[in-house]
Every structure is written in structure tokens, then in C-alpha cells.
Amino acid sequence: MRSFRLYWPALVVAMIVSFLFEAAWFSYFMNGWLAGIGRTMDWLHQSGMNPAVQYATAMICAFVMASVLSIAIQASGEQTIKRGIVCAAVLWLGFVATSWATEYIFEVRTLQIYGINVGYCLIDMMLMGAIVGGWKGKPRGV
């Protein structure tokens, strides 16, 4: 069985970049996103959800995604920026774009909200793939 190595500084940086990109993306597309999910800013503020829980969840999920991307990149060959971007795009197409398309078509959601959500995922995964694919260091075993 092949062993995969994770370079923790790259994973942490990918997580932080993902978190910052997510904040920028959804700030820019806030109105379209809220309309697409059938909510208002007032509802969002009054939902009772603790923002710290939301941010922690986003950070943990980004870290897991960066880790899985790192393993996929290593499994597909040499670890490079290009391979990281390509692996991320292929995984996005095979799993994110398709599963969200199926969900959205049955929920009768618009192409606008689909584009906002999967567009974010594509660019986010490619950013993380570039970071974990291109960052060389002394990795520690998984």
C-alpha cells in the first residue's frame, strides 16, 4: 500500500486562503446568494446561529478538503502546482458540480445560485490544489 504524506504548513495556509476567499466571494455575491436561497439579511442575522461555529466549521472543512486534495494529487503522480489545479478541477467536476446539479434540479433552484455556489467551490478547490500541490517541504507521514 502506498503511503501519503501531508505537509502541515501547506494545509494550514490552504485552509486560511480558502476561508478568506470564501468571505470575499460570498460578500461579493451576497445579494444573489441570499435571493437564491430564499433568505434575507435580516433572517441571516436573526437565525440564532453562532458565527464562531460557522467560521470554525468552514475552517475545519477547508482543512479536510486540502488534506484530501493533497492525497489525490500525490496518488495521481508528481506533486506540482499544475497537477494540484487539475486534480482539484477534476474532483470538482466529478463530485461537486454533478451532485449539486442533481440536488438543484430537484429543488428547482436557479442557475444563478448554482453558479454562485459551484463557482465558489471550483475556484476554492483550485486555489487549495495549487497550494498543496506546489508547496514542497519536509512532509510528515499520515
Question: What are the per-10-residue average pLDDT scores of the chain (142 residues)?
Answer: 86 98 97 93 88 95 97 93 97 97 95 97 98 77 53
Residue in the block written with cell 458565527 = 51
30's CB contacts (< 8 A; 6+ apart) are: 41
Cα–Cα distance for residue pair 115/109, rounded to 1 Å: 11
- Look at the chain and report how many structural domains it folds into: 1
Residue 26 lies in a domain: yes
Name the residue among 75, 76, 85 with its Cα closest to residue 134.
Answer: 85
Q: The domain containing residue 35 runs over which residues? A: 5-137
Residue 108 lies in a domain: yes
Residue 103 lies in a domain: yes
Q: Name the residue type at position 89.
A: A
Residue 15 lies in a domain: yes
**b/e per residue, 66-88, with b = 16+ CB within 10 A?**
bbebbbbbbeeeebeeebbbbbb
142 near 4, Cβ under 8 Å?
yes
pTM of this structure: 0.91
One-character DSSP codes across 32-77: HHHHHTT--HHHHHTS---HHHHHHHHHHHHHHHHHHHHHHHHHHS
Residue 142 lies in a domain: no
Residue 36 lies in a domain: yes
